[in-house]
Structure 1
Amino acid sequence: MSFTDAAQARSAQTSVPAPRERPAAAQDAAAGLAEVARATEALYGVVAGLDQLDLRGPSALPGWSRGHVVTHLARNADALVNLLMWAKTGVEHPMYLSRADRDADIEEGSGRLPQLLRADLDAACERFATYARDLPLTAWAAEVDHPRLGLFPAHRVPWLRLREVWVHLVDLDRGVGFDDLPPELVEGFLEDAVDTYAGRPDVPAVRVSAELADGRQRSWALNAADEGSPLVGGAAADVLGWLTGRHSGERLGGAAPTLPRWL
């Protein structure tokens, strides 16, 4: 059985049941987990096609090979399990012991053989799916702490995983772009990206406009931008690429300023 076939079989076994008479937090988590399962299958499809040369080659992230990106996605799944353990037990389980430990784990794992990288990714995704599936419904309303986001409800953890998978799928630079994301997710990703810049003094004042796939127009103001502030806009996928630092804004209308690091 191939890596992809095995992953699909396990995904079917750990699929999230449709939310029925669940608390609102658990319903939100179930919706996120269903999207995570879909994104993970797309991830498996790309990673299954990477040979050793591909994995050693550069990703779209400066300084990281594709092996770094794949390893990071595995370790991120385990880190989010830590947050779910926190939500379940009430005992603090930080995502990572430290930033240095996180970086060391990614560096150590990035150079492994393709079959080991794939097995690690598969096992980590499985651990996340299984732990999330078995989490008590009431635990999804518990608060956990993210090193950058601060306190937030556990039912947002699946959406954090979803963002990680799709954004880093783009970073693998193997034919997946932001315009390949499910259109219904792009608006939420845009709002999330804008929120990460809120209140940061290093963010320039700029108005942002995005045209969604359904024809609607959304707009946001970064750092107290007003009508006199520069306006940057374009297709939602291109705006998302700029906000997340995946390109410098050359695909957008208006003079896109340089943004600080997104995350």
Structure 2
Amino acid sequence: MADIVLGTGRWSAAGLADEVANRRAAVRHATEVLVRSASGLDEISVRQPSLLPGWSRSHVLTHLARNADACCNLLLWARTGIEHPMYASRDDRDQAIEEGASRSHQLLMEDLIASSDRFAVAARNMSDSDWTAEVSLSGGDVIPAVHVLRLRLLEVWVHLVDLDHDVDFTDIPTADAEMVLEDVVQFFGGRPDVPALTLEVDFGDHRRGWDLRGTTSRPAAVSGEPGPMLGWLLGRTGPGELRGDAPELPEWL
């Protein structure tokens, strides 16, 4: 899966501090759920396929660990002003995941926990001004460093579901699901291979809509709850729990 996050925002000093605090708390909670879920695997189950074609659960866990380190690189870039890309190259990233996936369940867990802790420490060491510094993602998109927290949150929740163990999209807290949906929709909205869509999502205490301006002239209207909508947009589940005539979507990857 590509490391992608989108999202915009302008904050006052107090607003930025609240945003950072809330997102750090969200990442911390998601990581706790991830570690608890992954701890329930064993040497046999960790070798079983994940929801990602060609990847076992051990591949997913290794990717999550390396992504934490990649996010640390971006925070270091923001803090020092010295360029630190997420990965040396796509080949290096893929090779590290492939090699790491062969490790024992215990070593996978130790790596996951240690890398997650490194990211938590890196985030804690950022000053307010550091969070507004711009950094570049692997695909070239430029974001303020505060959005690295959104990137990590998306990666943890989506790949936690990809473990196909004991968590699915309906288990994601509503506030987190709304943020992840916003980033997924913004990414899809900028792709020429995505059909025009009007989405409406029921978050319980409020509804929210998005328009994806695709290549077709008449947008399809699709509505539903956050979990099924996320699963469908990300290609992990079908549109069976959604309402409307859901079109076929291109791959998220």
User: TM-score with structure 2 length normalisation?
Assistant: 0.89
Q: 1:234 maps to which residue?
A: 224
Q: Is the 8 A contact 2:50 2:60 kept in 1?
A: yes
Q: Which has the higher contact order (CA 8 A, sep 6+)?
A: 2
Q: CA deviation at 1:226?
A: 8.9
Q: Is the 8 A contact 1:87 1:142 kept in 2?
A: yes
Q: 2:23 maps to which residue?
A: 32
Q: 2:246 maps to which residue?
A: 256
Q: Is the 8 A contact 1:87 1:140 kept in 2?
A: yes
Given the superposition, is the C-alpha separation of residues 128 and 211 from structure 1 closer, same or farther in structure 2, using an over 3 Å criterion? same
Q: Is the 8 A contact 1:83 1:93 kept in 2?
A: yes
Task: Give RMSD over aligned pairs.
Answer: 1.9
- Using the alignment, how far apart are the partners of 1:88 and 1:174 within structure 2? 37
Q: 1:66 maps to which residue?
A: 57
Given the superposition, is the C-alpha separation of residues 220 and 149 from structure 1 closer, same or farther in structure 2, using an over 3 Å criterion? farther
Q: Which runs of 5+ in 1 are unaligned?
A: 1-20
Q: CA deviation at 1:120?
A: 0.6
- Using the alignment, how far apart are the partners of 1:50 and 1:199 within structure 2? 37
Describe how 1:12-161 pairs up with structure 2 within 5 A.
24-148=15-139, 150-161=141-152
Q: CA deviation at 1:262?
A: 2.2
Partner AA of 1:206 in structure 2: L
Deviations 1:25-79 (A, max 9, x none): 3432222111111111111111111101111000111111000010000000000
- Using the alignment, how far apart are the partners of 1:105 and 1:77 within structure 2? 13
Q: CA deviation at 1:136?
A: 2.5
- Using the alignment, how far apart are the partners of 1:143 and 1:188 within structure 2? 20
Deviations 1:110-166 (A, max 9, x none): 111111000111110111111111123321110001123611100111121111111
2:198 counterpart of 1:217: no
Given the superposition, is the C-alpha separation of residues 145 and 26 from structure 1 closer, same or farther in structure 2, using an over 3 Å criterion? farther
User: TM-score with structure 1 length normalisation?
Assistant: 0.86
Given the superposition, is the C-alpha separation of residues 212 and 23 from structure 1 closer, same or farther in structure 2, using an over 3 Å criterion? closer
Partner AA of 2:221 in structure 1: L
Between Structure 1 and Structure 2, how many residues are aligned?
Answer: 242
Q: Secondary structure at the match of 1:35?
A: helix
Given the superposition, is the C-alpha separation of residues 222 and 65 from structure 1 closer, same or farther in structure 2, using an over 3 Å criterion? same
Partner AA of 1:220 in structure 2: W
Q: Which runs of 5+ in 2 are unaligned?
A: 1-11
Name the % identity.
Answer: 50
Q: 2:186 maps to which residue?
A: 195
Q: Is the 8 A contact 1:77 1:128 kept in 2?
A: yes
Q: CA deviation at 1:23?
A: 5.3
Q: Name the stretch that deviates more: 65-74 or 189-198.
A: 189-198
